[in-house]
Structure 1
């Protein structure tokens, strides 16, 4: 995820201070990793330095002073470029799940790899049930539904891979021990 671009997108709806940006991020991207306040403010500092956002005022509102930021013309152009750039499919397999299975097989522990695959399949299935509940929840927001659809599709792909890998490991084990 490109945090700077997401913050630019959130600012496209109007000026906000860091706390409002963090809250808007966590609401609009409900299944994404929540942003840390430090990450929001550090990113805003870089966006301001690069001329993509500008100070839009200060607010106290009964607490510490807060600086609001607004999108600049250059910020809007950067956001538009980002939104019109097609994301290339992932060129590398970067998954802890994949790495654990390969390493377990590398150390010649087929039983450990199979046990891991079976337990991981259980965890994926449990998460799939949780997300399916979100999809049928009448109070779920569009953001919740989109996030659940995205996660379900990825979990489904992982589950297909887990099933295929369990079959391959079993076939390989039979060949080696026949």
Structure 2
């Protein structure tokens, strides 16, 4: 997800201070990890430099003056373009997990054990997400479903890879 475009989208509804943008981001998108303040202000600085936002005013604050940011017409155009572009549906073609399997085979380690360990971790995470989904609101349910579907696909890949380990071992060690 593009943080710059997300901030532009949040600003499109109304001008905001960096602190308010961070809070809005965390409420809507920060379920797994809150956004650091430094990242908010670094992103706002880039957006300002690129003419996508401008300072709409300043107010005294507890510390430094608080700047209120507003999206520009160029920013509105940019976020509108981003929202209409489809995301690349192809996941990483060479995942870290695939790399670990190949390296295990190349170094004489057990790729079966690696796959079993990963399967156990995926199942643990799926149970955790299922509990969260049951206790959560609609946003949590949708986010958990998204993660669960990805984990389910990973489990299918783990099973398929385990079934093809002998063939893969011949190929990578030849």
TM-score normalized by structure 1? 0.84
1:81-139 deviation digits (Å, cap 9, x = unpaired): 00011122226424222221222122232x2x2111111111111111111112211xx
Query: Please, what is the CA RMSD of the aligned residues?
Result: 2.2
Which is bigger in relative contact order (C-alpha 8 A, separation at least 6)?
1
C-alpha deviation, 1:141, in angstroms? 3.3
Instruction: Identify unmatched segments of 5+ residues in structure 1.
Output: 174-178
Give the deviation of 1:54 after TM superposition: 1.1
8 A contact 1:52–1:74 mirrored in 2: yes
CA change 1:59–1:147 in 2 (3 A) is farther
Q: How high is the TM-score relative to the length of structure 2? A: 0.86
Q: Report the equivalent of 1:176.
A: none
User: Structure 2: where are the runs of 5+ without partners?
Assistant: 170-174
The number of equivalent residue pairs is 170
Counterpart of 1:36 in structure 2 is: 36
Q: 1: CA distance between counterparts of 2:13 and 2:106?
A: 51
1:132 — aligned with what?
A: 130
Cα distance in structure 2, aligned partners of 1:117 and 1:125:
12
What's the CA shift for 1:157?
Answer: 0.6
Please state how far the C-alpha of 1:70 moved relative to its aligned partner: 1.2
Shift of 1:149: 1.3
Q: Give distance in 1, aligned partners of 2:97 and 2:33.
A: 18
Helix, strand or coil at the partner of 1:87: coil
Greater CA drift, 128-137 or 53-62:
53-62
Q: Conserved in 2, the CA contact under 8 Å of 1:31 and 1:148?
A: no
